[in-house]
Amino acid sequence: MKEQKLREYSLQLLFQFNFLKEISKEQLSFFKQEFPLSSKDILFIKNKVEKVVSSLDELDKIIEENIIGYEIERLQRVEKNILRLMIYELLFEEEEANLVFSEAIRLTKKFATKEASKFIHAVLDSVHRNKDKKDGA
């Protein structure tokens, strides 16, 4: 399956985690029944979300450092989770910045609002610039 679709399903599972505070076998079974996912796809999604979840404190700190004039508690859950997922890919998986930016915008337009995409882009741009400063230091 294309990585774009796997990201969408990862975002959906991450969003569910916000409410359930766990990733259960039942959730994964539901995903497998409702979506055209192979066992390999399910494992990919589960692993990705578990990695993001294990880094939530650090990711949220990074988000807080890069949202000017906002508090993280004010962010919509879907926007916060898009940022978490894409910052994780940018910083921890070291995905190419152009890919992360375009995927973040695509996910935001699909699951949030077109207007939110500007905000998401600005936050990711700030994270990316700060990463470059640290890498260059």
Domain assignments of the chain as residue spans, ordered by start: 1-54, 55-137
Please identify which residue in the block is written with the tokens 């539901």. 30
Q: pLDDT tens-digit profile of 35-91?
A: 888 889 988 999 999 999 999 999 999 999 998 777 777 888 899 999 999 999 999
Among candidates 109, 54, 59, which has minimal Cα distance to 83?
59
State the pLDDT at residue 102: 93
Q: pLDDT tens-digit profile of 86-121?
A: 999 999 998 899 999 999 999 999 999 888 999 999
Domain 55-137 bears CATH identifier 1.10.940.10: yes
Residue 137 has pLDDT above 60, yes or no: no
- Rounded distance between C-alpha atoms, residue 130 and residue 136, angstroms: 10
